[in-house]
Copies of this chain bind each other. A is one copy, B any other.
Amino acid sequence: MSTDSKDDLVFKALANGLRRQMLDALKHAPRTTGMLCEQFGSLDRCTVMQHLKVLEEAELVLVRREGRERWNHLNALPIQAIHDRWISQYAGHAMSILSALQQNLDG
């Protein structure tokens, strides 16, 4: 797959608010598909699994099977790649400061 097709998968996966919320849910610790279905209780299991599949195809979620359970892990590497593409290593520190400043102004 070309880099641009891979990028397409990542950005299309992120273009959905619900999938972004699922990544939020995995930010601090991996979760089983069952746990995610419970957390997103307003959706049926099939919908949750479809969204997870999109995230998995974009490699934003890595899956590890343990017995009958599917553990979903956030993979931050594609997100780091977005950052690296447009924010150089040297600008990174300045951006962190600007970003914190803006959060203070917004907050």
A residues with CB within 8 A of B:
4, 7-8, 11-12, 14-15, 17, 20, 23-24, 27, 74, 76-77, 79-87, 89, 91, 95-96, 98-99, 102
- A85 and B24 within 8 A (CB): yes
- A77 and B96 within 8 A (CB): no
> Chain A's interface: helix, strand, loop or mixed, by majority?
helix
- B83 and A82 within 8 A (CB): yes
19 pairs of residues in contact across A and B, judged by CB atoms under 8 Å: A7-B17, A7-B20, A11-B11, A11-B15, A11-B20, A14-B14, A23-B86, A24-B85, A27-B86, A76-B86, A76-B87, A77-B98, A77-B102, A79-B86, A79-B87, A80-B98, A81-B99, A82-B83, A84-B99
Give A4 to B99 CA distance when docked, in angstroms.
Answer: 18
- B83 and A83 within 8 A (CB): yes
- B15 and A15 within 8 A (CB): yes
Q: Would you give the shortest CB distance from A89 to chain B, in whole angstroms? A: 7
- A74 and B86 within 8 A (CB): yes
- B77 and A95 within 8 A (CB): yes
